Amino acid sequence: MDSKAGEKRSEPRLQRSLFPDPAQLGLVNMSRANTSAFVALLEDVRPRWVMDLRVVPRFDFGVMNRRLFFELFERLHIRYSDIAGLAGISSHRDASLSSGAIVETLNTLLAEDPLPHAPGPILFLLKGTDSVAIAEQVIPPLLRPRPRGGWKIDTFDVQ
């Protein structure tokens, strides 16, 4: 176990618990997203936050569309944020993720949360396995506030 990044777990070991895990940090590969798998992930993890790190945050896959996903987020009491948009990232070549600069935007957003302690579970939406691998190395050690014992990192491929 890396004391800085926390514990890493691979998906899918989703087992619905009575309470969501505030130390869970999920990295979701959205490159070939499937509606039912993504909805099941949201219902099982019950994240407080869905933070989109994709340059183009698309929700028009399967039988769903953007409006229906946002209605689902509202029904499940999930806070959604287009982090790439907030950080002004407009290109896949932007180095904000790999350099860790994007974490400043994440930490600012989490600091404004009315419940600033234990901000999770948090799901990060990413495009492709490369982005997931980079996020796994960069985000956990820098994300604040860090839960006692560190982040429990899960990776998900919702295809």
Give tens-digit pLDDT for 101-136. Answer: 899 999 999 988 876 666 789 999 999 999 999 999
Q: Across the strands, what pairs with 155? A: 10, 27
Residues 50-69 as b/e (b if ≥16 CB within 10 A, e otherwise) read: bbbbbbebebeeeebeeeeb
- 71-75, Cβ contacts within 8 angstroms, sequence gap of 24 or more: 72/39, 72/42, 73/42
Q: Give the residue, 34 or 18, on which the prediction is more confident.
A: 34
For residue 9, pLDDT over 60 is answered with no
Q: What is the DSSP string of 51-99?
A: EE--SS-----TT--HHHHHHHHHHTT-EEEEHHHHTT---TT--HHHH
Q: Give the residue, 7 or 121, on which the prediction is more confident.
A: 121
pLDDT for res 99: 86
Average pLDDT of 80-93? Answer: 91
Residue 155 tokens, joined: 């990776």
Average pLDDT of 143-150? Answer: 90
**Every domain of the chain and the residues it spans:** 29-157
pLDDT for res 96: 83
Q: Are 102 and 83 in contact, with CB atoms under 8 Å apart?
A: yes
Average pLDDT of 85-106? Answer: 88
pTM: 0.86
pLDDT for res 15: 52
pLDDT for res 57: 93
